[in-house]
Amino acid sequence: MSGLRPVVDGTGGSALCRSAPVFELRGVTVVRGTHRALDEVDLVVGPGERVALLGPSGAGKSTLLALLSGATDPDTGAVLLFGEDLARLAHRRRRELTARVGALTQDLDLVEHVRVLHNVAAGRLGRIGLGPALLRLLTARADDEVREVLARVDLPWALHARTQHLSGGERQRVAVARLLLQRAEAVLADEPASSLDPTTARDVLELLRGSATTGTTVVSLHQPSAARHTFTRVVGLRRGRVALDLPPGRLTDDLLDDLYARA
Amino acid sequence: MTGLLDAPRLSPAAGRHVRLGVTRAAVLRRRGTTVAVLAAVLVLAAWRAFGAPGGVINTGGAALLDDLLARALSPRLDAEFLLLVARATATTLAFAAVGAAGALLVGLLGGLALSDAAWSRRPPLPVRLVRTALRGVLVAARSVHELVWALLLVGVLGLDPLVAVLALVVPFGAQTAQVYAETFDGVRGGAHAALRRAGAPRTAAILYALVPGASPLLLSYAFYRFECSLRSTVLLGLVGVGGLGQELVVSLQSRNWEEVWTLVLALLVLSALVEAWSARVRREAGSLGDARPVVAAADAEGVGALAAGRADSAPPTRTWTRWSVLVGLPGLAVAWWWTGASLEGLTDSLTWQLTQELVADLLRPALPDGGGSVLLLAVLDTLAIAVLAMAVAVLLTVVLAPWAAAPTASAAGPRDRSGRTRDIVRAAPRAAARLVSRTVLLGLRSVPPTIWAILALFVFFPGVVPGAVALGLYAAGILGRLVAEAWESVDRRPRDALVRAGVAPWRAGLLAVVPPSVQQLTTYTMYRFEVCVRDTAVVGVVGAAGLGRLLGEGLAAFRYPVVATALLASFAVSVAVELTSRRVRRGLSGNLRPRARPFRRAPARTTRFSV
């Protein structure tokens, strides 16, 4: 294989970055065991940008998303959310910032034993007081807000079903409904389309985009083809480094072949 | 970012999956060491037990036992006595319920405080210091046996029902807190952390994610604790806590054998009912949960209890659980009223003064008469009792447990080969054997070790042997049940595959079923051994031998400095045994990996964008 140089032309997203960026990584390295999951990565994502994250398995996509959501801290370098360095913030302020970011993980992070409505309502725990939260948990009462988001993910019938009885795709939509209730400004999603057929995958991607109030999304994808439609920017990771950073229009099959080529 | 991406670099993954090859020499060395250590320990214990001058068996006492057995079929059944038995049964149940509920409350609060999962990040230094101190206090609290707690508390509170409640709540609460902390930490998935990041406040996130996620296991363990609490309440009868235990001691000491049998019968029925109820609830909890065998629980029976509740294919229902909660909560209020306990004794000025005196005494430990050598011999005796008791328990388990385990579907054979009646005829002896062995095991564990010790002292002179026999019988009842339940879950498919491949069934069993069964037996035996070391205090108080005897004598004579020494010694012994056993168990499980660091519970998971 010929040496693949990082194709970073700068037009990927800088035009939109006049105001404070939503996400920013500065020279971030994450060490997992003996290898570097991320290696000196710089990345800036501005408001409204829709970034598709591509790359072979183990390239560092999930680690990058975990950093942006505040779930992981970097070993070196800085992670900035809305212009503030997470490592320098007090615990409370840090949570205020991470609460403005919604995250859909591969595990979905749902509570399996409770009814769907509680999992959905959990999305707005940051907005309501402890008293109402407890009362809703005990009385299993669903209000219009919960019904509305469940309708949006096309699961109105599942309101009182136990989460563990749903199929994988249904559980994913429950997680999306929870995300909708969080009213996050930006949304991160880790391979949300990997187990879905193309049409459903596009629906989920649209929902995710709609769930971020500023429209900012960073989504890792298994299928590069989907990146060409819904996104404004494609970032390719390879061995923990940014290998591609382009508008989707400039994404060629050759570039993809190099990105996914075996070492 | 200008470097070549495909610059040659040693693949980091290359070295990670290489397994160290195991040689035959290593296997033989390990087996040799195991056998040698086991033999040495047993020989030492036997030497302590039978080496004493003056013989072991008290021939004069055998007649008493003969008397007792002769009346087995003529229990006292007149109305007056039956009423007394009914009241005693209610009292035992009430104390057990209140004790378990208290332990549950302590366990929930303590468990949340101790678990890492309840904190979304590493807690600040002061919190960690307090937690470390709390952990130490809890370990110390559970290392002291309920009976010893009761004897200590009687010195402070007098004969008050509260003594029994506290004697149950303190050690059980400490144990429950530890198990619950591990349960919370073991809740799968990152729901709690995700909610916290999404802005949920601490309490709300715990209630929405952590508690529901852990609830099947919490419930399962709570009911298991209730069973333990029942056994311990009976045992506390020795120090005058009312109920079946006390009546049993009184009848036994006044040689009213007919009454003894009635009481034992009542005890059997009560334990059987409570255990059946608990098993139903635990099975429901198991089918609700994610049905993994839980190894997080800190104590043996917890593990057994949780694993036993594993899901089968039945659809999850919660009928028993729901009714248990509906009936249980008002029931607890009734139970509290029935026990007659009140918290007033705690605020009494006399209590305060006596506590201060007790603590002052306990803080300046003194050696018993005879000095350090007496203490050392007591430690040796304690270990000897525990080792021999486990030998007895394992022997009985190997004899009884195979019959107590329910035959699995494949063992019953294909249905269509013979008629239904023939099936039933063929299965009848097996079912009878199962009933008998289960009843024997139930009886062994329902009668408290104190009673077994009193009976053993009829036959043996005081010393290591009666203690070991008494504890061994009791431990066999518990070990046998745990092992039988574990054996039911042994995978029989490899054996069936071998049989289909033409191997004789017994050989296939030897090859495919015995090894996993032996491993289960060993694991539970090691766990139970830890508990057994702690239980030696009980038979010691009755007069067997070891540290328990020092404790009992010191408490009877109000010589608290000696009591403090004995407590410290037994604490040291149980910690040492626990550490050794943990090492052995880790060795047995085949991989001597270092344990995961507490704050990176699932290292693989963190890379998957979830923590």
**Whose CA is closest to B84, among B263, B284, B280?**
B263
B435 within domain boundaries: yes
Q: Could you tell me if B207 and B278 lie in one domain?
A: yes
Into how many domains does chain B fold?
2
Q: What is the pLDDT of residue B269?
A: 92
**d(C-alpha B517, C-alpha A225), whole Å:** 52
**d(C-alpha A49, C-alpha B422), whole Å:** 75
**Chain B residue closest in CA terms to A96:** B199
- Is the pLDDT higher at A114 or at B100? B100
> What is the per-residue pLDDT across B95-148, written as a single tens digit (0 to 9) for each?
999 999 999 999 999 998 888 877 766 777 888 888 888 888 888 888 888 888
Number of helices (H) and strands (E), helices first, in chain B?
26, 0
- Is the pLDDT higher at B139 or at A40? A40
Q: Could you tell me if A14 and A57 lie in one domain?
A: yes
- Find the farthest-apart pair of alpha carbons in chain B and give their distance in angstroms, rounded: 96
Q: What is the pLDDT of residue A101?
A: 92
**Chain B residue closest in CA terms to A244:** B1
B59 within domain boundaries: no
Strand A233-238: give its sheet, edge to edge.
A7-8, A241-246, A233-238, A50-54, A216-220, A186-190, A101-104
Q: Identify the band that residue B588 occupies on the pLDDT scale cut at 50, 70 and 90.
A: low
Model confidence at A129: pLDDT above 50: yes
How many CB atoms sit inside 10 A of residue B464's CB? 31
Model confidence at B592: pLDDT above 70: no
Q: What is the pLDDT of residue A162?
A: 83
Highest mean pLDDT, choosing among B56-65, B385-394, B452-461:
B385-394
Model confidence at B26: pLDDT above 80: no
DSSP state string for A60-129: SHHHHHHHHHTSS--SEEEEEETTEEGGGS-HHHHHHHHTTEEEE-TTTT--TTSBHHHHHHGGGTTTS-
**d(C-alpha B65, C-alpha B61), whole Å:** 7
Output the CA torsion B331→B333→B334→B335 (10° steps).
Answer: 80
CA distance A3 to chain B (A): 6
CA distance B398 to chain A (A): 38
Contact A6 B1 (CB under 8 A): yes
Model confidence at B204: pLDDT above 50: yes
Contact B6 A3 (CB under 8 A): yes
Q: Could you tell me if B321 and B392 lie in one domain?
A: no
Q: Which of B5, B183, B600 to mutate to test the interface with A (most CBs of A within 10 A)?
A: B5
Contact B197 A134 (CB under 8 A): no
DSSP single-letter state for residue B416: G
Q: Could you tell me if B337 and B437 lie in one domain?
A: no
**d(C-alpha B163, C-alpha B237), whole Å:** 12
Q: Could you tell me if A28 and A82 lie in one domain?
A: yes
Least confident of B43-47, B171-175, B296-300: B296-300
Contact B199 A242 (CB under 8 A): no
Model confidence at B302: pLDDT above 70: no
Q: Which of A99, A137, A239 sits opposite B208 (nearest CB)?
A: A137
The alpha helices in chain A, defined as continuous H runs, are 61-69, 91-98, 116-121, 130-139, 144-152, 168-182, 198-211, 224-230, 253-260
Chain A hits for B15, CB-CB cut-off 8 Å, are: 34
Q: Could you tell me if B155 and B274 lie in one domain?
A: yes
Chain A hits for B16, CB-CB cut-off 8 Å, are: 33-34
Chain B hits for A186, CB-CB cut-off 8 Å, are: none
Q: Which of B9, B218, B609 to mutate to test the interface with A (most CBs of A within 10 A)?
A: B609
A164 within domain boundaries: yes
Contact by Cβ (8 Å): B611, B193: yes
**d(C-alpha B234, C-alpha B94), whole Å:** 11
What mean pLDDT is predicted for residues B523-529?
A: 85
Into how many domains does chain A fold?
2
- Is the pLDDT higher at A37 or at B213? A37
Contact by Cβ (8 Å): A211, A192: no
**d(C-alpha B88, C-alpha B94), whole Å:** 10
Contact A1 B190 (CB under 8 A): no
Contact by Cβ (8 Å): B470, B456: yes
Q: Could you tell me if B337 and B376 lie in one domain?
A: no
Q: Could you tell me if A230 and A198 lie in one domain?
A: yes
Q: Which of A39, A62, A107, A255 to mutate to test the interface with B (most CBs of B within 10 A)?
A: A107
**Chain B residue closest in CA terms to A1:** B6
| Sign of the Cα pseudo-torsion (B523, B41, B471, B257, in order) | positive
**d(C-alpha B429, C-alpha B423), whole Å:** 11
Q: What is the pLDDT of residue A43?
A: 94
Q: Could you tell me if B138 and B270 lie in one domain?
A: yes
Which residues on neighbouring strands pair with residue A245, listed in sequence order?
A: A8, A235
B212 within domain boundaries: yes
- Is the pLDDT higher at A172 or at B296? A172
At residue B149, what is the residue type? W
**Whose CA is closest to B450, among B259, B258, B240?**
B240
Q: Could you tell me if A75 and A197 lie in one domain?
A: yes
Q: Could you tell me if A173 and A194 lie in one domain?
A: no
Q: Which of B5, B209, B609 sits opposite A105 (nearest CB)?
A: B609
Model confidence at B290: pLDDT above 50: no
CA distance A200 to chain B (A): 23
Q: Could you tell me if A95 and A190 lie in one domain?
A: yes
Contact by Cβ (8 Å): B365, B561: yes
Model confidence at A8: pLDDT above 70: no
Model confidence at B288: pLDDT above 70: no
The fraction of chain B above a pLDDT of 70, given in percent, is 82
**Whose CA is closest to A80, among A51, A52, A32, A44?**
A44
Residue A247, classified by CB atoms within 10 Å of its CB into exposed (0-12), middle (13-18) or buried (19+), is middle
Find where tokens 């990040």 sit. Answer: B121
B602 within domain boundaries: no
Q: Which of A125, A171, A174, A238 to mutate to test the interface with B (most CBs of B within 10 A)?
A: A125
Chain B hits for A126, CB-CB cut-off 8 Å, are: 198-201
Q: Could you tell me if A226 and A172 lie in one domain?
A: no
CA distance B228 to chain A (A): 27
A19 within domain boundaries: yes
Contact B191 A111 (CB under 8 A): yes
Q: Could you tell me if B376 and B272 lie in one domain?
A: no
B280 within domain boundaries: yes
**d(C-alpha B423, C-alpha B102), whole Å:** 48
B460 within domain boundaries: yes
Contact A112 B13 (CB under 8 A): no
Model confidence at B320: pLDDT above 90: no
Contact A3 B193 (CB under 8 A): no
Model confidence at B426: pLDDT above 80: no
Q: Could you tell me if A85 and A164 lie in one domain?
A: no
What mean pLDDT is predicted for residues B361-372?
A: 77
Query: What is the average pLDDT value for chain B, to the nearest integer?
Result: 77
Q: Identify the band that residue A228 occupies on the pLDDT scale cut at 50, 70 and 90.
A: confident
- Cα B378–B379–B381 angle (5° rounding)? 60
Q: Could you tell me if A190 and A179 lie in one domain?
A: no
Contacts of B347 (CB under 8 A, 6+ apart): none
Chain A hits for B602, CB-CB cut-off 8 Å, are: none
Contact A71 B6 (CB under 8 A): no
**Whose CA is closest to A65, among A169, A168, A195, A186?**
A186
CATH code of A13's domain: 3.40.50.300
What mean pLDDT is predicted for residues A229-233?
A: 86
CA distance A228 to chain B (A): 24
Contact A109 B193 (CB under 8 A): yes
In which domain, by residue range, is B227 found?
88-341
Least confident of A49-58, B155-164, B194-203, B498-507: B498-507
Contact by Cβ (8 Å): B190, B610: yes
B283 within domain boundaries: yes
Q: Could you tell me if B378 and B462 lie in one domain?
A: yes
**Chain A residue closest in CA terms to B192:** A109
B103 within domain boundaries: yes
**Whose CA is closest to B523, among B307, B217, B280, B285?**
B307
Last residue of a domain, one of A129, A155, A183: A183
A214 within domain boundaries: yes
Chain B hits for A212, CB-CB cut-off 8 Å, are: none
The fraction of chain A above a pLDDT of 70, given in percent, is 92
What mean pLDDT is predicted for residues A160-182?
A: 88
Q: Identify the band that residue B20 occupies on the pLDDT scale cut at 50, 70 and 90.
A: very low
**Chain A residue closest in CA terms to B190:** A109
Contact A243 B290 (CB under 8 A): no
Contact B213 A113 (CB under 8 A): yes
Chain B hits for A42, CB-CB cut-off 8 Å, are: 1
How many CB atoms sit inside 10 A of residue A137's CB? 19
CATH code of B246's domain: 1.10.3720.10
In which domain, by residue range, is A146 found?
111-183
Contact B1 A37 (CB under 8 A): no
What mean pLDDT is predicted for residues B516-529?
A: 84
> What is the per-residue pLDDT across A115-128, written as a single tens digit (0 to 9) for each?
888 889 888 888 88
**d(C-alpha A232, C-alpha A248), whole Å:** 6
Q: What is the pLDDT of residue B396?
A: 93
What mean pLDDT is predicted for residues B61-80?
A: 78
Q: What is the pLDDT of residue B190?
A: 80
Residue B293, classified by CB atoms within 10 Å of its CB into exposed (0-12), middle (13-18) or buried (19+), is middle
Q: Could you tell me if B242 and B186 lie in one domain?
A: yes
**d(C-alpha B514, C-alpha A44), whole Å:** 61
Q: Which of A4, A107, A243 sits opposite B189 (nearest CB)?
A: A107
CA distance A183 to chain B (A): 10
**Whose CA is closest to B453, among B516, B542, B364, B343?**
B542
CA distance B111 to chain A (A): 19
Model confidence at B55: pLDDT above 80: no
**d(C-alpha B327, C-alpha B332), whole Å:** 9
